[in-house]
Structure 1
Amino acid sequence: MLTLIEKILFFVLAVGSLYLAWRSFRQAARVIQRGDGRLYMDELPRRIWRALEVTVTQRTVFRARPWSSLMHGFVVWGFLFYFLANTGDVLEGYFDIAFLGTGIIGDVYRLAGDVLSVLIIIGMIYFMVRRFVVRDPALKYHENVKLHPRIPGDIQRDSLIVGAFILVHVGTRFLGETFWVALHGDDTWQPFASAVSGLWGGLDHDALEVGEHVLWWLALGTILAFIPYFPYSKHAHLFMGPLNYFSRPDRRSLGALDPLDFEDEAREQFGAAKLEHLSKTQIFDAFACIMCNRCQDACPAYVTGKELSPSTLEINKRLEIKAHMGALAAGTESPSPLLDFAITPSAVWACTGCGACIEICPVGNEPMFDIMDIRRDLVLTQGDFPSELQGAFRGMENAGNPWQVGESRMKWAEGLDVPTVEDTDNFEVLYWVGCAGSFEPRAQKIARALVRVLNAAGVKFAVLGDAESCTGDTARRAGNEYLFYEMAKANIETLNEVHPPRILVTCPHCLHTIGKEYPQFGGNYDVVHHTTFLNELIQAGRLKLVGEGRTNVTFHDPCYLGRHNGEYDAPRYALGAAGAAVTEMERTRNSSFCCGAGGAQFWKEEEHGTARVNLTRYAEAKATGAETLATGCPFCMRMFADARQDESMNGGPEVKDVVEIIAERLGLEV
């Protein structure tokens, strides 16, 4: 128990520490408030539960690196307990009590403190050795990636400060408990402290009391010293991570972009050129970032040697904010554009929009959205974008398709009886053929195969024919939001006139755009991917699949079918029903590796790197030994068909769409 003078001193120090921390957190909050849009506070019980569930279970951390994740779990679970333990220590310092009593509750409390203290120490030693001794390559960056000037020193210094704080704080509290055990005798509920307490057997009673007293001050004093630094440190993710999950928007899908308000005549900035142009959520991401680099491990651009690292994008933002925290909090314009300190133009245009960085992030960061907003600024405000995209933009604007083809959208259907909505009443589904199915030769075969399968199943369908136009997905992902806006409005007007009961698509990008982004503009439709629909037909007995033998197939999960829209099982079920044995690639389902076409990459030259994305993924398919690489996206199909022609891929699997495999089993022409 503290003396009166010590109680007064601790109170004064605690108030001073909390005041300094409050000032720092207030500055951080003001910087976040500089952003566009809002933080989301609706449905508070659900949001609170989500934040608590993610924090306590650590399920988002365990998505990758299981050993490091376990060590991180030790530290997090221990610190969650330490909120209670530190409260108890302060109360015991001020009052002559045993916190939580001497009964079973107090016993369990002491056991938890004993075990978790040891686990925290083990976890922190692991992380310190990993960073400073082993120098894990996962914590480094490619030489061509843009790094904020403060990164080399700040990250190492901050990691050392945080690591030292945790080890000193937890270590001194644990040692304090060993002195307590030495004073009062072995405690079966504190096995580790009891084991260590034998070291103090030669000390008398007074020395043990002094030691316990000094260690109490060291344990809690380190907290008082660290709290003002806390908002500036990476350890802030302990609070900012859960708060990020708590306040993030509820998107219709992982990659659904927010619209820009083109009706606001007072608006001059479209997209993000500076920090304050980002949304509040995007600025919050910088404070929440744990600097673990998992996002760059999952990023197809980074893995293939491009200049893009989603991790350094967030870290660069964080360090720029840290360097100008006071000025930014006061409302001063940020001194440098994002392209000067956060990311290079090549990195901006290397993003495939696959969403892998969002899927893997333990704290809910969404760096892909930063990149899309920077593209919007480059295209809409600065007119600075890869020249190859101009052709796609012009084609969508003038011909309704990025291929710039002026012929009928029904040419793919020559020789088939494909009804249009003008000729058909009460159709079951509206088949949205898409630009690829209408104009790209390989995708046309997929469209024709689907029509034959639909006819075999007795599905009454119709198409829009020449009334169909590009959904605008390419324009939106390339940053040309205004072109997308105009195309979306026109398509919604067409669809609302037709009132389709259901829209069937073969392109996951059409699935995502019509199903998840058109609702932003009043277009609400039931949209289904053809692999999902085929599986429904099989389950309903409308498709009777026959065929001898089993084909060894590996399935590539298209990003906009899987990660963005959550459909993983239907393609595999359909393949299984068609007699295919599916061999999974190493990166599959929500960890699938992009084909390289998304994010408008299909319409431009791939940014310079050490490898091509499509070749990297196709090599993974080849490594399975499968005879066929199946997919459910016309763009993935084209990327892998091109990869198969590369000399290095001789003997690789044939590339087919799921519907083509089913058509073969039905004995239909493909």
Structure 2
Amino acid sequence: MPEATRPIYWHITGVWVMYALLVPTLAVFAYGLKRRYRLWRLGGAEARLDRIPERLRLVWTYVLGHRRLLREAVAGWMHAALFWSMVLLFLGTVVVMIHQDLRLPIMNGWFYLVFQSLVLDVVGAFGVAAFAVALIRRYVVRVRRLQHNREGVPPDRSDGISLVALLLIFLQGFALEGIRIAANPQPWDGWSPVGYALGLALRGLGEPALIGAYQFTWWFHLVTVFAWIAYLPYSKMLHVFTGALNVFFSDLGPRAALLQPIDFEKAERLGASAITDFSWKDLLDLDACTNCGRCQEACPAYNSGQPLSPKNLILDLRDYLHRYGPALVLAGAGGGRLPDPETLAARGLELPALVGETIRDETLWACTTCRACMEECPVHIEHVPKILEMRRHLTMEEARVPETLQDALRSLEDRFHPYKGTSASRTDWCEGLDVPVAAEAGEFDVLYWVGCAAAFDPRGQKIARAFARLLQIAGVKFAILGNEESCSGDPARRMGNEFLFEQIARANIEVLNRYRPKVIVTTCPHCLNTIGTEYRQFGGEFTVKHHTQFLQELVDSGRLRVKPGRLRTERGGAPLVTYHDPCYLGRYAGEYEAPRALIHGTGVGLAEMARSRSKSFCCGAGGAHAWMEESGPGPRVNQIRAREAVETGANVIATACPFCMQMMEDGVKTTAGEDGPAVRDVAELLLEAVESTAPSPR
């Protein structure tokens, strides 16, 4: 149908009014964007414009492709329908502009029928359905994570206003189409199924009534659209822009390197104690938040009743920025610089404490740094670095540290490990195993970095012995540092003592450089990330592998021969194993498959928990919580995770981290009692399944 088209301004006069109204609309819109931009510039510099192709791929995958949103089926498809219907309808408006204003007649024939009529009608219908689902989820079903839960802060009304306004805009569009089809029928009207159906229902009205209704609806629609555009930068709906920007400016560095070192000679403040201590990207994060609550639902602290909601933390920081940011801009703040107290006082500007008042101490210390919030966030907000920056301020400037963490820090300073009161040495765990020490071993291929948990915790020592025995069976030439080994520094950095961490890191780098190991293998995922990633910030370039990764290489090469079926429970049956993903091995190091491959290789059944791999629930030990007393109205984090493991029906819980081992064993005892499943490290399971050809230890 080459003649197929439609009139643009059917019975509409005074079109110039539309263009006149567009000017103030865009001016208000631009002013709102400018205000937000000036607030972001309060933050310090941060390089986020490198590797442009990679950043564009992120936008393609996570903004256009909705990868994280689609992990939750209903909400994901609902948002995808909203997003793509808005995008395609906007493109339809652009086609009208090209056809009418640029005088390029493209809105004709098959293009008009297929795109402007059929496609836009279908996506518009999906959009209306999606808006209805969104409103029902928020206000009828009242999905928990979408509900307002900030005490003393009124709810953000822009959520409902934006949804209702957009739904009204979509319905107005269908109404205009239906009225025009009813009053001016054409042979091709069936290509617009929704409009055609409405037109059939309206054909009983006379033409004058239809024309009057069309004119009223057209102008009402115009005002609604322009009002929504002008309102956009002042509402949460701005995330349609800031969310995409935030994904584009994502941190492309290693996941473990959440923090940057501090230049102690030049730093005026240690950590973040003012809103200007954050970077511009941190402040963009605040305006990118969609208040969707996915981070909150994934947070182990929140789920155990601790005073931390990642969502509310971001919203509290955002409110602080919006309340005091404009005055700070006028006072000359910007680029990470805060005006001196005299300047602020002269302007009558009294800033409440960001840390301690706006964000409470106990909120910051509740974080386990598991990174689940960042993994779930659809717009790539970086919660954990902000928390750790504020911890730095609490620890190094205010000395406001929980008592048990103070003991761990003192032990780190005095004994180079965080275990207060232990009488064990760094080599007690390997007594009778003939494990060589690097200083006496001569040449070796692998340096086994034991870590504090495996050296000093009795349960961790069993993991170290199992792994060392596997290395001996495989004929690997390895050594340990023995008393030259120190803590990797991970606990100090997570506690916020960056100065102590840097001292430890530089000392360890010096020791490791002296031996120049070909590869470092560790049974601790925290050491894996600290030595393998964070030490690079201080010049320490080392190849570091987790013990499950290295063991899988030994199995694949045939140096470890596994006999499926050798594993048996205490009652003699074949075990059913469920695997708990350590946060610092999975979400930080990206390793999910090696431990599972080793478990599968033993011939046992593997029952996955409901939350596994990147959605795994934390054991509760990260972020230095292994040395903290957890308190709260809900069950402890490790109890929640142990219950999830027990619910699989497995009689063995496998993990690959000595801290997870401690927490899961304790959680099983308190939730399932002595008859609960056994907790084993993957190395311990593998040791039982391999065919040993090495001499037995003394």
TM-based fold match above 0.5? yes
Shift, 1:221, TM fit: 2.5
Deviations 1:75-111 (A, max 9, x none): 0111111221232344566577765332236522322
Contact 1:62 1:70 in 2 (8 A): yes
User: Structure 2-normalised TM-score?
Assistant: 0.90
Contact 1:111 1:190 in 2 (8 A): yes
Match of 1:510 among 527, 542, 546: 527
Q: Distance in 2 between matches of 1:649 and 1:80?
A: 55
Q: Distance in 2 between matches of 1:161 and 1:467?
A: 63
Deviations 1:419-468 (A, max 9, x none): 12223344221110111111111111111111111010111111111111
Aligned partner letter, 2:25: S
- State how 1:646-665 maps to structure 2 within 5 Å: 646=670, 648-665=672-689
Contact 2:620 2:638 in 1 (8 A): yes
Partner of 1:261: 262
Q: Distance in 2 between matches of 1:134 and 1:588?
A: 27
Aligned partner letter, 1:598: G
- Say whether 1:226 aligns with 2:228: yes
Contact 1:151 1:316 in 2 (8 A): no
Q: Distance in 2 between matches of 1:119 and 1:210?
A: 28
Deviations 1:544-568 (A, max 9, x none): 1225364211110000011111111
Partner of 2:204: 202
Partner of 2:659: 635
Partner of 2:430: 413
- Say whether 1:191 aligns with 2:198: no
Partner of 1:55: 63
Q: Distance in 2 between matches of 1:201 and 1:7?
A: 27
Partner of 1:595: 619
Deviations 1:36-92 (A, max 9, x none): 23251122233123213322211111122x112211111011111122123234456
Shift, 1:581, TM fit: 1.3
Partner of 2:95: 88
Q: Distance in 1 between matches of 2:278 and 2:203?
A: 60
- State how 1:286-325 maps to structure 2 within 5 Å: 286-324=286-324
Match of 2:566 among 545, 548, 559: 548
Q: Distance in 1 between matches of 2:378 and 2:367?
A: 20
Q: Distance in 2 between matches of 1:647 and 1:123?
A: 41
Aligned partner letter, 1:559: C
Q: Distance in 2 between matches of 1:282 and 1:63?
A: 25
- State how 1:29-178 maps to structure 2 within 5 Å: 29-38=37-46, 40-64=48-72, 66-90=73-97, 94=101, 100-104=107-111, 107-140=114-147, 147=151, 149-152=152-155, 155=156, 157-178=157-178
Q: Distance in 2 between matches of 1:219 and 1:647?
A: 59
Contact 1:52 1:242 in 2 (8 A): no
Q: Distance in 1 between matches of 2:163 and 2:295?
A: 23
- State how 1:294-443 maps to structure 2 within 5 Å: 294-324=294-324, 326-330=326-330, 331=332, 335-339=351-355, 342-404=358-420, 405=422, 408-443=425-460
Contact 2:137 2:143 in 1 (8 A): yes
Partner of 2:23: 15
Match of 1:576 among 589, 597, 600: 600
Partner of 1:666: 690
Shift, 1:287, TM fit: 0.8
Tell me whether 604-613 or 625-634 shows the greater mean CA deviation. Answer: 604-613
Q: Distance in 1 between matches of 2:273 and 2:459?
A: 39
Q: Distance in 2 between matches of 1:226 and 1:104?
A: 29
Q: Distance in 2 between matches of 1:105 and 1:201?
A: 24
Shift, 1:351, TM fit: 0.6
Tell me whether 519-528 or 658-667 shows the greater mean CA deviation. Answer: 658-667
- Say whether 1:563 aligns with 2:590: no
Aligned partner letter, 2:27: Y
Shift, 1:33, TM fit: 1.4
SS of equivalent to 1:307: coil
Q: Distance in 2 between matches of 1:290 and 1:248?
A: 16
Q: Distance in 1 between matches of 2:13 and 2:118?
A: 32
Shift, 1:650, TM fit: 4.0
Partner of 2:543: 526
Shift, 1:188, TM fit: 2.9
Match of 1:536 among 553, 577, 582: 553
Q: Distance in 2 between matches of 1:206 and 1:56?
A: 44
Contact 2:55 2:250 in 1 (8 A): no
SS of equivalent to 1:194: helix
Deviations 1:247-281 (A, max 9, x none): 1221201x42222323442x221111232222222
Shift, 1:583, TM fit: 0.9
Deviations 1:117-162 (A, max 9, x none): 11111111111122223322232366xxx54x4342xx2x212210
SS of equivalent to 2:283: helix
Tell me whether 598-607 or 321-330 shows the greater mean CA deviation. Answer: 321-330
SS of equivalent to 2:610: coil
Q: Distance in 1 between matches of 2:580 and 2:22?
A: 56
Q: Distance in 2 between matches of 1:481 and 1:248?
A: 24
SS of equivalent to 2:436: coil
Instruction: State the aligned residue count.
Output: 660
Tell me whether 358-367 or 38-47 shows the greater mean CA deviation. Answer: 38-47
Contact 2:642 2:671 in 1 (8 A): no
User: Structure 1-normalised TM-score?
Assistant: 0.93
Tell me whether 533-542 or 167-176 shows the greater mean CA deviation. Answer: 167-176
Shift, 1:575, TM fit: 1.0
Q: Distance in 1 between matches of 2:206 and 2:608?
A: 66
Change in CA separation of 1:340 and 1:456 when aligned onto 2, cut-off 3 Å: closer
Equivalent pairs: percent with the same residue?
38
Partner of 2:570: none
Contact 1:176 1:212 in 2 (8 A): yes
Deviations 1:143-183 (A, max 9, x none): xxx54x4342xx2x212210121012111112222233332
Partner of 1:620: 644
SS of equivalent to 1:188: helix
Change in CA separation of 1:620 and 1:529 when aligned onto 2, cut-off 3 Å: same
Change in CA separation of 1:587 and 1:53 when aligned onto 2, cut-off 3 Å: closer
Shift, 1:193, TM fit: 1.4
Q: Distance in 2 between matches of 1:340 and 1:151?
A: 21
Q: Distance in 1 between matches of 2:180 and 2:100?
A: 13
Q: Distance in 2 between matches of 1:492 and 1:220?
A: 65
SS of equivalent to 1:594: coil
Q: Distance in 1 between matches of 2:358 and 2:96?
A: 43
Aligned partner letter, 1:373: E
Partner of 1:465: 482
What do you get for the CA RMSD once the two structures are aligned?
A: 2.3
Change in CA separation of 1:125 and 1:115 when aligned onto 2, cut-off 3 Å: same
Partner of 1:216: 218
Partner of 2:346: none
Partner of 1:483: 500
